[in-house]
Structure 1
Amino acid sequence: MSDCQLYLISPLDVGGDFPQRLERAVQAGPVAAFQFRVKDIDQHEAARLAEPLQAICAAHEVAFVVNDDVSLAKRLGADGVHLGQGDGDVREARERLGREVQIGVTCHASRHLALEAGEAGADYVAFGAFFPSQTKESEHRPELSLLEWWSEMVEIPSVAIGGITPDNCAPLIEAGADFLAVSHAVWSGDEVAAVEAFAAKLR
């Protein structure tokens, strides 16, 4: 079984000194992926904000994943796209983006949605929210047994998401999550200390 790694999700504000913060975070520990998640801005502005972040990810071999927006992912030549349940079809995204791009799907607390996503060709599935989240409201609360079942039965990697901190992540790692998706726990304070605290639990 592969080691669990961090999957950083951006705060909604990625301007200002955020590129420097991202660089410090990805240097501090085992970060596998970074999800670019911005709302209510046009593609041109999104592309401008993404450019320095994408370069940092490339320099540190961190996958750059666009949240919710297949056309932006295509425009940027992103490494991946993450689709919520209302954000379009995995097969259509695959047709537009090609075979190399990683496609992830939010599956809440549902085995059924996750198996469907896998059959459609998703590269990973995300389950959550495991804990109350500061980033996004979710009424879904999966059990740890879902992660255990998935890691035993299915080859496709799983991402655990939702209110994950260094203090509460150990059971998720033990249950077989391949990635921990974190946002608030890293960006709400000292990103280096937070990533190092996660790294200590991931070892």
Structure 2
Amino acid sequence: MKSLQGIYAVTDEVLTPKSTIVKQVEEALEAGAKVIQLRDKSSTDDELEPIAKSLQDLCDQKKATFFINDRVQLAKKIGADGVHVGFRDQTVKETREEVGEKMLIGVSCYGDIERAKQAVNDGADYVAFGAIYPSKTKPKADVVSKEIISKAKAELDVPICVIGGINRKNINEIVDFQPDLYALVSDIFESESIKKTVTELNKLISKSE
């Protein structure tokens, strides 16, 4: 199975436009990002299919793991490593029935440990909690206590992902809680040097390993 730990770079329609997304993701992978998520809420599956294929190929080359956000049919069509669903989308059980046993499923659990337990019971391969900090990309998201990470690690036996407003300035505050995955959007893809940023992030989280 591919890795579900380390820096998890999540794309964004504005910060990673179609004209540059593949190059930007390649830079993140070259600097050591371990997981990539294609997140695009506005394009059609047909528009995203060639990009998704290119990103999956890149992740295969770099031995990284590739997820598509929400778009289960697209993930199935291109043979993505995984699909990430929100609890407001279809259920994990429905997703598992649709994608089969081999595809990885990640699920957003916000600040709800009971939702996370249900998701794991239904077949989720990792659970994500957040927003850990106020988020530029999801400004309306509720901020959750970092203590949820400790509780999740104690009660669940799947990788724990944290997301929401994480950057090089505050990631040290999370490292001690030892989540498995650190999902970032803005700090990686707004930076002047994606490679430099991901390299710095990896150094900052390495003390927890």
TM-score with structure 1 setting the length: 0.93
Please state how far the C-alpha of 1:133 moved relative to its aligned partner. Answer: 0.9
Select which of 72, 75, 83 maps to 2:74.
72
User: Could you tell me which amino acid in structure 2 is paired with residue 157 of structure 1?
Assistant: P
Q: What is residue 48 of structure 2 aligned with on the other side?
A: 46
| Structure-2 separation of matches of 1:3 and 1:14 | 25
| Structure-2 separation of matches of 1:74 and 1:104 | 15
Q: What is residue 26 of structure 1 aligned with on the other side?
A: 29
Q: State the superposition RMSD in angstroms.
A: 1.6
Contact persistence 2:135–2:141 (CA under 8 A):
no
Q: Percent sequence identity over matched residues? A: 31
| Aligned residue pairs, count | 201
TM-score with structure 2 setting the length: 0.91
User: Could you tell me which amino acid in structure 2 is paired with residue 5 of structure 1?
Assistant: G
Contact persistence 2:111–2:130 (CA under 8 A):
yes
Distance 1:125 1:195, change over 3 A: same
| Structure-1 separation of matches of 2:51 and 2:83 | 17
Question: Which has the larger displacement, 84-93 or 12-21?
Answer: 12-21
Structure 2 unpaired stretches of 5+: none
Structure 1 unpaired stretches of 5+: none
Select which of 155, 162, 165 maps to 2:164.
162
Equivalent positions of 1:1-203 (< 5 A) are 5-12=6-13, 13-29=16-32, 31-189=33-191, 190-203=193-206
| Structure-1 separation of matches of 2:4 and 2:168 | 16
| Structure-2 separation of matches of 1:160 and 1:151 | 12
SS in structure 2 at match of 1:87: coil
Please state how far the C-alpha of 1:4 moved relative to its aligned partner. Answer: 5.0
User: Could you tell me which amino acid in structure 2 is paired with residue 9 of structure 1?
Assistant: V
Please state how far the C-alpha of 1:89 moved relative to its aligned partner. Answer: 1.3
